[in-house]
Structures are given as C-alpha cells and as structure tokens.
C-alpha cells in the first residue's frame, strides 16, 4: 500500500493540474490580447472572459477574438482611441475594408455578427449608449458578384478630382486593380517608374508577391504627384508625419468626390475601382489567367466572378466568331 500511495497521489495531482481545453484556449487568447496595442483593450479582455464563462465553444471564442481584434485594430488605425466615439460609419468602413481585402461574404457576415454581439455587451456594461443600436445595425453588405462603375460615371468622377495626390491615388486603383489597402501602404521603394511597374511584395490576403503595371494616364498622374510630394516621406501617399494614409481617410476621400460628382446615391465604394479594372480588361479580351495574376487571386474561381461581359461585348464576340465561321475558318460552312 505504501508503494501505491504516491502513484495514486501523483495521478490525482496531474488530473487536478490538467486544464480544460477551453481554459487553455481562453488563456492563450487573453495572452495575445495583452500583447496587442488596441483601443479599449480592457473591454476586449472583459468580453472574452464573459464569452468563456458563458461556456461558448472554442470555435466561437476564436471567431469572436478575430472579429473584435480586427475591428479594434482598424478603429485605432483610423485615429480613434475612445470606443465611446464609435459611429455607424465606423462599422460600415470596417465591413467595406474586409470586403476590399477579398474576404468571403460569409466570413464578413460572421465578423459583423460577432462585432454586434460585442457592442451589445458594451451597452449592457454601460460603456456605450443603448441608442447606438436602437435601430439595429443592418448594413448593406456588398453583392457577392463584383460591381463595376458605369463608364460615364467613371468619367464624371475623375472630372471632379482636382487634387494631384488624390487623382494619382484613385487613377492608380482604376488602372492597376490594386486594393485600396495595398495602394495606401505603397512605399517609394515599391515603385519602378522606368519600367512602369509596381512591386507588391506582400499581399493582404497571402504571402505571394505580384507585379502590377502603370498605364499611360496612371504613369502621368503618378509622375505629377512625385514632383510635388516631400522626398523624405517613405510612403507614396502619406498623411501627417511619416505615416501613410489610413483606410478610413482614403474611403472618406472617395466619398467626398462621389458627392462632388453627384454620384453618392449610386452605391459605389472605393473597391468598385478594382472591379472596374477587372471588368474592363476582360471585356477587352484579357485571358482570365492573366487577370488572376494581376489581381493577386490564389483561386481562379474568385477571378471568374468578374467574367460578366457586357451585352455589347457579347454582340461583338458573336459577330467576330461568326465572321470566322462564315469565311470557312472553322468547319461549319453550310
């Protein structure tokens, strides 16, 4: 018996010291939160503990952590520190940002649901006013299919962009298909003006780099801006100090020009410029595989969503192909 006792005690002690998987997970997530520089971090930690005490599943805990962490990082990046200043436009900007990164619509919906749950918790904790969610937050999420800007509206939009920096920025998006986050994060070392290239070494969605090219009008606009910009700034497009322009500022600039052009009711967003780029190249005959590389899509099925040709393009393609058939270039000379 005396020899068995230590073994029994050791087993009991090991069981007592063994943590439940959910406890291990929440400890890990809270440790990650503690290392982050986020606004309202104490409320984030409190919320995660609340989710754990309510016995939420590990998958729910991870989803809540990711969604709230991404939003708070985005919120802080827009220059806001106090969560009590939050507005509906902040949520709209975040959702648009996630879409712009190429996140699937189902994932965006999940993140929005997690974010609203977090905000409800803050209301219950008297951190936020209940009036904030009084009407409920039913954001109009972007369509699954990308939306291009009407050519006439593109001309109308750019006719009112008179600021040299802003014109270079938005023309760059239209002519390269870059994501707004990629353009705002561009550094001077990424530009190759002589070879008319921009090197994107780290994509927002993956670690694969890619090259995009400068059209004549985009090159002209960029050169104009480069003559004006301060040479000491590391970012191509910069705000105050040495920092680049934040996403919300870029978005607000686009909205400003939409209003100036009388297009604010059309439902266009800044990432519609990327969609327009893709649609126009496909309509001009670019192969899907080439467009995939320019857009930085890992899966060509994502690129295939853009393959919606206009009626005019379909008409032209039909008569081009039929002319070839009628000339005997393809079997079918009846």
Q: What is the pLDDT of residues 286-304, one digit of tens each?
A: 888 999 999 988 778 778 7
Using 50, 70 and 90 to split pLDDT, how confident is the model at 145? low
The contacts of residue 41 (CB under 8 Å, 6+ apart) are: 33, 34, 72
Instruction: Judge contact between 62 and 24, C-beta under 8 A.
Output: no
- State the average pLDDT over residues 152-181: 96
Using 50, 70 and 90 to split pLDDT, how confident is the model at 19? low
Lowest mean pLDDT among 178-182, 185-189, 211-215, 328-332: 328-332
Tokens, residue 139? 């954001």
Beta strands 191-192 and 197-200 are antiparallel
Tokens, residue 235? 């970012």
Lowest mean pLDDT among 91-105, 135-149, 189-203, 217-231: 135-149
**Domain range annotation of the chain:** 4-133, 151-313
Lowest mean pLDDT among 173-177, 238-242, 318-322: 318-322
Q: How far is CA 141 from the centre of its chain?
A: 13
pLDDT at 36 over 80: yes
Q: Which residue has the higher pLDDT, 274 or 206?
A: 274
Q: Which residue has the higher pLDDT, 2 or 319?
A: 319
Its sign, for the CA torsion 321, 324, 328, 333, is positive
**Burial of residue 58 (number of CB atoms within 10 Å: 0-12, 13-18, 19+):** middle
What length does the chain have?
A: 334
**Burial of residue 293 (number of CB atoms within 10 Å: 0-12, 13-18, 19+):** middle
Using 50, 70 and 90 to split pLDDT, how confident is the model at 11? very low
**pLDDT at residue 13 in the model:** 44
**pLDDT at residue 136 in the model:** 61
Lowest mean pLDDT among 10-14, 101-105, 249-253, 323-327: 10-14
**Burial of residue 191 (number of CB atoms within 10 Å: 0-12, 13-18, 19+):** middle
Instruction: Judge contact between 219 and 196, C-beta under 8 A.
Output: yes
pLDDT at 14 over 50: no
Instruction: Judge contact between 246 and 79, C-beta under 8 A.
Output: yes
Per DSSP (E only), the strands in the chain are 191-192, 197-200, 210-213
Helices 105-124 and 58-77 sit at what angle, rounded to 10 degrees?
Answer: 80
Does the reported pTM lie above 0.85? no
Question: Number of helices and strands (H, E) in the chain?
Answer: 15, 3
**pLDDT at residue 142 in the model:** 54
**pLDDT at residue 24 in the model:** 86
Distance CA 106, CA 115 (A): 14
Sole residue written with tokens 């802003």? 166
CATH number of 151-313: 1.10.443.10
Instruction: Judge contact between 309 and 315, C-beta under 8 A.
Output: no
- State the average pLDDT over residues 176-197: 93
Distance CA 262, CA 156 (A): 9
Tokens, residue 94? 């975040």
Distance CA 95, CA 267 (A): 15
Please write the tens of the pLDDT for every residue from 89-124. Answer: 788 788 877 876 667 778 888 999 999 999 999 999
**pLDDT at residue 84 in the model:** 86
Sole residue written with tokens 């220059």? 79
**pLDDT at residue 62 in the model:** 94
**pLDDT at residue 205 in the model:** 46
- State the average pLDDT over residues 224-238: 95
């Amino acid at each position: 018996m005396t020899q068995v006792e230590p073994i029994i005690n050791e087993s009991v002690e090991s069981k007592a010291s063994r943590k439940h998987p959910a406890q291990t997970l929440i400890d890990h997530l809270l440790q990650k939160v503690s290392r982050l520089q986020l606004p309202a971090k104490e409320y984030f930690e409190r919320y995660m503990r609340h989710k754990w005490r309510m016995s939420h599943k590990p998958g729910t805990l991870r989803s809540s952590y990711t969604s709230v962490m991404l939003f708070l990082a985005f919120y802080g990046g827009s220059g806001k520190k106090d969560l009590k200043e939050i507005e509906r436009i902040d949520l709209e900007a975040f959702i648009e940002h996630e879409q712009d990164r190429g996140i699937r619509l189902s994932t965006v919906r999940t993140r929005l649901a997690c974010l609203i749950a977090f905000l409800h918790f803050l209301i219950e904790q008297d951190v936020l006013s209940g009036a904030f969610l009084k009407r409920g937050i039913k954001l109009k999420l972007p369509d699954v299919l990308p939306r291009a800007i009407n050519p006439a509206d593109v001309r109308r939009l750019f006719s009112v962009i008179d600021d040299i920096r802003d014109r270079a920025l938005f023309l760059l998006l239209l002519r390269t298909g870059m994501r707004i986050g990629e353009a705002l994060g561009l550094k001077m070392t990424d530009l190759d003006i002589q070879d008319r290239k921009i090197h994107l070494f780290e994509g927002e969605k993956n670690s694969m780099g890619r090259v995009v090219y400068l059209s004549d009008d985009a090159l002209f606009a960029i050169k104009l801006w480069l003559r004006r910009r301060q040479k000491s700034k590391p970012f191509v497009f910069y705000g105050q100090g040495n920092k680049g322009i934040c996403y919300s500022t870029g978005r607000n600039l686009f909205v400003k020009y939409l209003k100036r052009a009388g297009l604010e009711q059309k439902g266009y967003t800044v990432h519609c410029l990327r969609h327009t780029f893709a649609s126009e190249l496909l309509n001009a005959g670019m192969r899907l595989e080439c467009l995939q590389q320019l857009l930085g899509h890992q899966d060509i099925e994502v690129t295939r969503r853009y393959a919606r040709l206009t009626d005019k393009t379909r008409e032209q393609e039909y008569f081009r192909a039929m002319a070839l058939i009628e000339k005997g270039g393809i079997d079918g000379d009846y």
